[in-house]
């Protein structure tokens, strides 16, 4: 097997640059979906149901894109066609979704239109997102992978910040942030328009700058027969190690650490699902003292939520620098989740919009650990198991399933806490604190070896 060549910084940058645009689209969705559907007329008890689609699409689409692209060989490459098609569909839907209330439809028809548009947006974003991870795996050698994923992480966070602040920025330059009842404000609509334009430009840049290896060269660098990849239903990334095995067999034989980390993940991702769903209503009620979704105050709160999510992203980047300084990774993981849980619990009690920066910086600490620590524990535990790609694909379920469960239960829990959206931040905080305790259930390879 030939050694993959070292790539220059700019070649590594080009591999992931399109991710910047994809993440802007994802950030706009994360910060504005509850705001859009509340503006259209959705009851707060039903808001969480709209959030079932993002994780559901993720758990369905990403494995399918991985499987199909493993067996695709065209003059344009194997990953890039899926990247381009996903981005093109996302651009179209981003221009339609925020206009759901402007088409003269009834409230129920506008909701259905928005829901269908959201389904296509989730599908296309997931379709465009997955190939970037695969391009690095395909074309970057082991020595440079950490650097390549660091560049991807930087572009991911940068795109998030831009997408989060767009509605606030467009309001600041004079675009209207209020609209008739049931209509999404122009500041949000133009955020989606400009985000869509940046997305397609970034993806075009990667498409034009990156040339994937043809099948023969790919085989030389990766030591895997491309013909076998075309003829089997099992993705290349699932065919590591010796012997075969269905996904059910792999799950049955998974190390205990896989399941222990999955338990932590359940409480963590449920907490953040409630943050994405209820933060707009919480900030509107806590800081702007309004629950009227057609009011100027509510729409100002919606803009400010984007700023707070951007603060969370900055806090995540800063805490990610601190995390490697801890010698005890379990302590670092648990402490991060405790800080995030405290941040969530503080949100309903802070009535100044600028003081809200503090809890969201703390929430960023929890987010940083959630992005890094689970994969550290799981990949270490999987050493010697083989089928690394398959296990990591299955591990994605510990991200998606908790969000689906939390979304299904969101309306019921909201009723139990008095139909008071700020109380859902406390629910999220408690969930994250429970996750921090579950961290100590995890057994590291060192602990397992000592026990043996």
pLDDT tens across 153-184, in order? Answer: 788 888 999 999 999 999 999 999 998 888 99
Same domain assignment for residues 311 and 166: no
Same domain assignment for residues 168 and 295: no
Same domain assignment for residues 234 and 268: no
Compute the average pLDDT of residues 228-249.
Answer: 47
CATH number at residue 282: 1.20.1250.20
- Tokens representing 197 are 């334009």
In the three-class reduction of DSSP (H, G, I as helix; E, B as strand; rest coil), residue 385 is classed as coil
In the three-class reduction of DSSP (H, G, I as helix; E, B as strand; rest coil), residue 78 is classed as coil
What's residue 384's pLDDT?
56
- Tokens representing 312 are 């969370």
Residue with the bigger pLDDT between 9 and 131: it is 9
Same domain assignment for residues 271 and 144: no
Same domain assignment for residues 279 and 142: no
pLDDT digits (tens, 9 = 90+) for 296-305: 999 999 999 9
Q: Does residue 218 surpass a pLDDT of 80?
A: no
Domain boundary among the residues 215, 239, 263 is at 239
Same domain assignment for residues 202 and 280: no
- CA–chain centroid gap for 367, Å, is 11
63-69 LR contacts (CB < 8 Å, sep 24+): 63/235, 63/393, 63/396, 65/126, 65/127, 65/130, 65/131, 66/130, 66/134, 66/235, 66/237, 66/393, 67/233, 67/235, 69/130, 69/131, 69/134
Q: What is the DSSP letter of 444?
A: -
Structural domain harbouring 140? 1-239
Same domain assignment for residues 198 and 310: no
Name the pTM for this structure. Answer: 0.78
- Tokens representing 435 are 């996750």
Compute the average pLDDT of residues 254-268.
Answer: 90
Domain count for the chain: 2
Same domain assignment for residues 281 and 171: no
- Tokens representing 132 are 């970037």
What's residue 239's pLDDT?
42
pLDDT digits (tens, 9 = 90+) for 312-339: 999 988 998 888 888 888 999 999 999 9
What's residue 1's pLDDT?
63
Domain boundary among the residues 221, 239, 257 is at 239
Same domain assignment for residues 302 and 322: yes
Q: Does residue 446 surpass a pLDDT of 80?
A: no
Region of 104 (left: φ > 0; alpha: ψ -120 to 50; beta: rest) is left
Closest CA relative to residue 371, chosen from 124, 157, 98, 95: 157
Helix 186-209 / helix 80-96 crossing angle, nearest 10 deg:
170
Q: What is the DSSP letter of 100?
A: G
Same domain assignment for residues 258 and 183: no
Same domain assignment for residues 315 and 362: yes
Q: Does residue 227 surpass a pLDDT of 70?
A: no
Same domain assignment for residues 167 and 39: yes
Which residues pair with residue 77 across a beta bridge?
Answer: 74
- Tokens representing 359 are 């809890």
Region of 241 (left: φ > 0; alpha: ψ -120 to 50; beta: rest) is left
Domain boundary among the residues 194, 216, 239 is at 239
What's residue 242's pLDDT?
39
């Amino acid at each position: 097997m030939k050694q993959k060549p070292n790539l220059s910084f700019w070649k590594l940058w080009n591999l992931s640059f399109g991710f910047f645009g994809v993440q802007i689209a994802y950030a706009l969705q994360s910060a504005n979906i509850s705001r859009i559907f509340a503006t259209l007329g959705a009851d707060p008890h039903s808001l969480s149901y709209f959030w079932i689609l993002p994780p559901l699409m993720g758990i369905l689409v990403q494995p399918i894109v991985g499987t199909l692209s493993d067996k695709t060989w065209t003059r344009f490459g194997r990953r890039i066609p899926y990247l381009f098609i996903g981005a093109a569909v996302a651009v179209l839907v981003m221009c339609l979704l925020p206009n759901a209330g402007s088409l003269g439809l009834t409230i129920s028809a506008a909701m259905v239109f928005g829901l269908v548009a959201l389904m296509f947006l989730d599908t296309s974003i997931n379709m465009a997102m997955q190939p970037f991870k695969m391009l690095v795996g395909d074309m970057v050698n082991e020595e440079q992978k950490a650097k390549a994923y660091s560049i991807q992480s930087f572009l991911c966070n940068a795109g998030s910040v831009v997408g989060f602040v767009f509605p606030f920025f467009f309001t600041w330059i004079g675009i209207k942030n209020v609209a008739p009842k049931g209509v999404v404000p122009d500041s949000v609509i133009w955020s989606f328009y400009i985000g869509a334009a940046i997305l397609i430009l970034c993806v075009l840049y990667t498409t034009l700058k990156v040339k994937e290896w043809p099948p023969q060269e790919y085989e030389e660098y990766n030591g895997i027969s491309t013909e076998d990849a075309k003829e089997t239903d099992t993705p290349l990334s699932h065919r590591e190690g010796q012997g075969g095995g269905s996904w059910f067999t792999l799950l049955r034989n998974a190390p205990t650490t896989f399941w222990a980390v999955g338990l932590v993940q359940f409480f963590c991702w449920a907490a953040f699902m409630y943050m994405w769903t209820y933060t707009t209503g919480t900030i509107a009620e806590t800081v702007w003292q309004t629950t009227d979704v057609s009011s100027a105050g509510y729409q100002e709160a919606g803009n400010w939520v984007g700023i707070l999510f951007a603060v969370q992203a900055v806090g995540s980047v800063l805490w990610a620098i601190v995390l490697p300084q801890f010698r005890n990774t379990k302590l670092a993981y648990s402490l991060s989740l405790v800080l995030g849980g405290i941040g969530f619990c503080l949100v309903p009690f802070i009535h100044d919009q600028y003081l809200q920066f503090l809890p969201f910086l703390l929430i960023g600490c929890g987010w940083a650990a959630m992005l890094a620590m689970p994969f550290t524990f799981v990949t270490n535990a999987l050493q010697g198991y083989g089928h690394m790609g398959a296990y990591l694909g299955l591990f994605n379920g510990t991200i998606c399933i908790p969000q689906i469960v939390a979304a299904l239960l969101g309306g019921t829990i909201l009723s139990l806490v008095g139909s008071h959206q700020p109380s859902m931040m406390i629910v999220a905080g408690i969930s994250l604190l429970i996750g921090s305790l579950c961290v100590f259930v995890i057994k590291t390879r060192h602990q397992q070896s000592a026990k043996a």
